[in-house]
A and B are shown apart, each in its own frame.
Chain A
Amino acid sequence: MDRRWLPALAALAVLPWVVPSSYVVHLLVQVLLWSFIYTGWSLMGRFGLVSFGHGAFMGIGAYAVVLLWNFHGLSPWLSIPIGVALAVAVAVLIGYPCFRFGIAGHYFALVTLALTEVVRSVIVALRDTTGGSLGITPNSVLKDGVTWSVQALQFADKRVFFYIALAAWAFGIWVWHRIDKSMMRYAMEAIGSDEQAAASVGVNVTRTKLAITMISAALTALGGALFGQYQQYVNPETVAGIGVSLQIVFAVIAGGMFVRFGPTVGAVFTLLLTEGLRVGIGNKVNALDSTIYGLMLVLFIIYMPTGILGKLAEKLRRARA
């Protein structure tokens, strides 16, 4: 990444020491991890590959780590790569036939939606192993005075995980940046506007789409693994279901999928919204939060399709011109 970002990164790094409470640190970790996942999704989404399957990739990453730890004692340092590889393999399994046979647009969205549901159903069905819909907690090593373990990737102090999340987020932004500056972006933009024309100038459409999907799935699975590890709890609804997939799509559309920091803005926005609704309304009205999400999604798509940051960037550009 550009050196200019170092001061900004440094400023972020001192945040957990200046914020008033560990609740705020918790919110920051959430924002960073979700931003990372949203950024991973946008690598595809910005080129018109709208996936509702990222809940599946996230779930695979999260569950792989917890299950391998609980049943085989495998350190997350080893199981995270396994989880990521597994998600990438599933991405290829779903992506290759789709791209090879030209399943795109709504149909691609539907196929990926089905994938999410399949993964969630499998987690629920294997309840003896996965804990089913009740979820599962990784065996904790934080007892008898132990407050941290690098090997188990478990830390009593949230601030440690803040730095892990910050590193992941910065990595996501870096990946976005690298792809944005590469010939791969040209190829994906070309495919996004006209697959036949792209093929006629030598772009291998299937391979290029598959490559971006694999990168996107890998990032999302890594995000899922870290999220499960941070929460010390995974549940099919919070890391794998259609709800997660929808949340990803909503946040990215709200923040702006065509600009580098759009997904991050989306994460801040959705977190403020969720927390605001939770504190303001609580559980008094059933499903009110989902209704508001749905309504806002429609409004964003109609009035602000480029998202908050996209719109802001447009305005700035116009003001400068």
Chain B
Amino acid sequence: MLNVQALTKKFGGFTAVSSISFDLAEGEILGLIGPNGSGKSTTFNLIAGLYAPTAGSIRFQGREIGGLSATQVCHAGIGRTFQIPRPFRKLSVIENVTLAAYYGQAGRVSEAEARRQAADALDLIGLPHARGEGIDGLGAAALKKLEMARALATQPRLLLADESLGGLDEAEMEQAADMLRMIRRERNITIIWVEHIMGVLMRVVDRVIVLDHGEIISAGLPAEVAADPKVIEVYLGSDAAEVQEHARGRDDGARR
């Protein structure tokens, strides 16, 4: 479904992403991890249309999307969330999501249909209350959910989830991870999940790619990657044992 070939992004003399390649199969959940400055956010933003690649290609469902604008990428069927939720402050919860349903499908649905799809997305995510109200009263977890509902309302085939666990407590992290799995199950959406909190991620994803200094240093099943000496050296360090346990403990529900 997604095919990234020799993708490179330079900012002036600095190479943020250096010729990375990977494939993504339909229905897969891919974890994209790495330390700060490893290039994972840049990779994410290249796919999401915030940056144009310096070189290389990004093919989505057979179509080149590298260099398209964020709007065009959304219309092509790729939804995204932001690391720090960025709700539209002057719109109510339902309006935030309705907007995404309406414009996310490039005007292919009526206003009424967009409203219905927005309600569906909020139901699926579990944010049914306070629809008509403003977003000021929402807590961190609810804002993350709103972010996710908004991305889903655009009816994406591929979802880019940016640090869905940031700012959440332990219980909320588990819920957020379950939510991604549930989204894949209910909507058959393929997911790329960028995260720096590794434990929970390892239990949910099918495959992991580890970036460091803009290059892929390891890729494979979570258990393989967690045991990779290179990954332990540059990234996991003393957390290695814990992450490996998570990777082993991933329940089979995670895989299809």
* Complex Cα–Cα for A200 and B99 (A): 11
- Asked whether A199 and B102 contact (CB < 8 A) given A186-B91, A186-B95, A194-B86, the answer is no
- A201–B74 touching, CB < 8 Å: yes
- B86–A196 touching, CB < 8 Å: yes
Task: State whether the Cβ of B106 lies closer than 8 Å to any Cβ in chain A.
Answer: yes
* Complex Cα–Cα for A197 and B88 (A): 8
- Asked whether A183 and B99 contact (CB < 8 A) given A202-B74, A202-B106, A204-B71, the answer is yes
* Complex Cα–Cα for A189 and B98 (A): 13
Chain A: interface residue total (CB-CB under 8 A): 18
Q: In this complex, what residue of B is CB-closest to A199?
A: B70
- Residues of chain B in range 201-225 having any CB-CB distance to chain A below 8 Å: none
Residues in chain B near residue A27, CB distance under 8 A: none
- Asked whether A199 and B82 contact (CB < 8 A) given A186-B91, A186-B98, the answer is no
Task: State whether the Cβ of A190 lies closer than 8 Å to any Cβ in chain B.
Answer: yes
- Asked whether A193 and B88 contact (CB < 8 A) given A186-B99, A202-B103, A203-B103, the answer is yes
The residue in A189, A196, A199, A202 that gathers the most chain B C-beta atoms within 10 A of its C-beta is: A202
The residue in B88, B114, B150 that gathers the most chain A C-beta atoms within 10 A of its C-beta is: B88
Decide if the interface of chain A is mainly helix, strand, loop or mixed. helix
- B150–A201 touching, CB < 8 Å: yes
Residues in chain B near residue A203, CB distance under 8 A: 71, 99, 103
- Residues of chain A in range 176-222 having any CB-CB distance to chain B below 8 Å: 183, 186-187, 189-190, 192-194, 196-205
- Asked whether A189 and B71 contact (CB < 8 A) given A183-B99, A183-B111, A201-B104, the answer is no
Residues in chain B near residue A196, CB distance under 8 A: 50, 70, 86
Residues in chain B near residue A187, CB distance under 8 A: 99, 103
Looking at the assembled complex, report how far the CB atom of A188 sits from the nearest CB atom of chain B, in whole angstroms. Answer: 10
Task: State whether the Cβ of B58 lies closer than 8 Å to any Cβ in chain A.
Answer: no
* Complex Cα–Cα for A183 and B114 (A): 10
- Asked whether A199 and B74 contact (CB < 8 A) given A183-B103, A183-B111, A190-B99, the answer is yes
Residues in chain A near residue B89, CB distance under 8 A: 193
Looking at the assembled complex, report how far the CB atom of B135 sits from the nearest CB atom of chain A, in whole angstroms. Answer: 10
Tell me which of B90, B98, B104, B111 contacts A202 (CB under 8 A). Answer: B104
Q: In this complex, what residue of A is CB-closest to B82?
A: A197
- Residues of chain B in range 54-81 having any CB-CB distance to chain A below 8 Å: 69-71, 74-75, 79-80
Residues in chain B near residue A190, CB distance under 8 A: 88, 91, 96, 99
Task: State whether the Cβ of B7 lies closer than 8 Å to any Cβ in chain A.
Answer: no
Residues in chain A near residue B91, CB distance under 8 A: 186, 189-190
- B151–A201 touching, CB < 8 Å: yes
Looking at the assembled complex, report how far the CB atom of A266 sits from the nearest CB atom of chain B, in whole angstroms. Answer: 21
Task: State whether the Cβ of B188 lies closer than 8 Å to any Cβ in chain A.
Answer: no
* Complex Cα–Cα for A194 and B98 (A): 16
Looking at the assembled complex, report how far the CB atom of A207 sits from the nearest CB atom of chain B, in whole angstroms. Answer: 9
Looking at the assembled complex, report how far the CB atom of A267 sits from the nearest CB atom of chain B, in whole angstroms. Answer: 25
* Complex Cα–Cα for A204 and B49 (A): 13
Q: In this complex, what residue of B is CB-closest to A205?
A: B71
Task: State whether the Cβ of B247 lies closer than 8 Å to any Cβ in chain A.
Answer: no
Looking at the assembled complex, report how far the CB atom of A94 sits from the nearest CB atom of chain B, in whole angstroms. Answer: 22
Q: In this complex, what residue of B is CB-closest to A189?
A: B90
- Asked whether A183 and B102 contact (CB < 8 A) given A201-B150, A202-B71, A202-B74, the answer is yes
Q: In this complex, what residue of A is CB-closest to B111?
A: A183
Q: In this complex, what residue of A is CB-closest to B155?
A: A202
Q: In this complex, what residue of B is CB-closest to A192?
A: B90
* Complex Cα–Cα for A198 and B71 (A): 8
* Complex Cα–Cα for A197 and B105 (A): 15
Tell me which of B49, B69, B103 contacts A201 (CB under 8 A). Answer: B103
Looking at the assembled complex, report how far the CB atom of B141 sits from the nearest CB atom of chain A, in whole angstroms. Answer: 19
Looking at the assembled complex, report how far the CB atom of B151 sits from the nearest CB atom of chain A, in whole angstroms. Answer: 7
Task: State whether the Cβ of B192 lies closer than 8 Å to any Cβ in chain A.
Answer: no
Q: In this complex, what residue of A is CB-closest to B73?
A: A200
Residues in chain B near residue A189, CB distance under 8 A: 88, 90-91, 95
Tell me which of B71, B87, B151 contacts A199 (CB under 8 A). Answer: B71
* Complex Cα–Cα for A86 and B211 (A): 54
Looking at the assembled complex, report how far the CB atom of B192 sits from the nearest CB atom of chain A, in whole angstroms. Answer: 14
Contact with B along A66-80 (1 / 0, CB 8 A): 000000000000000
Residues in chain A near residue B111, CB distance under 8 A: 183
Residues in chain A near residue B114, CB distance under 8 A: 183
* Complex Cα–Cα for A186 and B49 (A): 22
Residues in chain A near residue B69, CB distance under 8 A: 199
* Complex Cα–Cα for A198 and B75 (A): 13
Looking at the assembled complex, report how far the CB atom of B48 sits from the nearest CB atom of chain A, in whole angstroms. Answer: 7
Q: In this complex, what residue of A is CB-closest to B147?
A: A197
Q: In this complex, what residue of B is CB-closest to A204?
A: B71
* Complex Cα–Cα for A205 and B71 (A): 8
Looking at the assembled complex, report how far the CB atom of B208 sits from the nearest CB atom of chain A, in whole angstroms. Answer: 25
Chain B residues in contact with chain A, CB under 8 A? 48-50, 69-71, 74-75, 79-80, 82, 86-91, 95-96, 98-100, 102-106, 111, 114, 150-151, 153-154
* Closest 3 pairs between A and B when the two form their complex, measured CB to CB: A202-B104, A201-B100, A199-B70
A-B residue pairs in contact (CB < 8 Å), sample of 6:
A187-B99, A193-B88, A197-B87, A200-B82, A202-B154, A204-B103
